[in-house]
């Protein structure tokens, strides 16, 4: 049985954002990839592409939260390594894509800001439970480091940048 229309639109949009970014993803691309009719987008997302991208960004953010299991860096690292290798380094983070959408896409950039904040909160909570000093500061650095490492990994076609982040973060994530 096919996934519900809304879910197919979100899944297709996430996939396209990961490969082409917001400005490289058009409604026609989403329709082609999802196999749904044009009126379905406007039925589920009446404000159009920006609303669709914002919803896809939130959905992608929730998926990553489930992968990270409440802030576990090792689980997130392993998932990103597998994902990049499985896709031959041709995909990136859809949340980063939404963050870069710019002023023409306010709902998308707002969704990215909210997702990044949620990820930082999850990581800070996990770090706090582990007794790490300055958990909020370190959580922000972790999110930034992971996002940068994902971009570098794509360009270098290697998981080394992610592994480098893991090594350095392992040195920083020590209980007080």
Report helix, strand or coil for 1. coil
Per residue in 19-58, pLDDT tens? 999 999 999 999 999 999 999 898 999 999 999 999 999 9
| Domain that includes residue 135, residue range | 5-172
Record the tokens describing residue 77, joined without a space.
Answer: 């690292």
What is this structure's pTM? 0.93
132: left (phi over 0), alpha (psi -120 to 50) or beta: beta
| CATH number of the domain enclosing 95 | 1.10.357.10
- Helix ranges (H only) for the chain are 5-20, 27-34, 38-44, 49-68, 73-86, 94-99, 106-129, 135-156, 160-172
Total domain count, the chain: 1
Q: Which residue has the tokens 């860096």?
A: 73
**Positions in the chain whose pLDDT score sits under 70:** 1-2, 70-71
**What pLDDT is recorded for position 175?**
78
């Amino acid at each position: 049985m096919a996934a519900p229309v809304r879910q197919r639109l979100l899944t297709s949009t996430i996939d396209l954002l990961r490969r082409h970014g917001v400005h490289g993803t058009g409604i026609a691309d989403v329709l082609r990839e999802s196999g749904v009719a044009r009126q379905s987008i406007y039925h589920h997302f009446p404000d159009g592409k920006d609303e669709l991208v914002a919803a896809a960004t939130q959905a992608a953010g929730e998926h990553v939260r489930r992968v990270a299991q409440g802030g576990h860096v090792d689980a997130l690292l392993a998932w990103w390594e597998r994902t990049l290798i499985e896709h031959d380094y041709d995909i990136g983070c859809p949340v980063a894509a939404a963050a870069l959408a710019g002023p023409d896409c306010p709902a998308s950039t707002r969704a990215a800001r909210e997702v990044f904040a949620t990820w930082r909160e999850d990581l800070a909570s996990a770090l706090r439970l582990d007794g790490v000093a300055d958990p909020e500061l370190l959580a922000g650095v972790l999110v930034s480091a992971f996002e940068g490492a994902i971009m570098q990994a794509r360009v270098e076609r290697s998981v080394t940048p992610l592994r480098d982040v893991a090594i350095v973060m392992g040195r920083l994530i020590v209980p007080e």
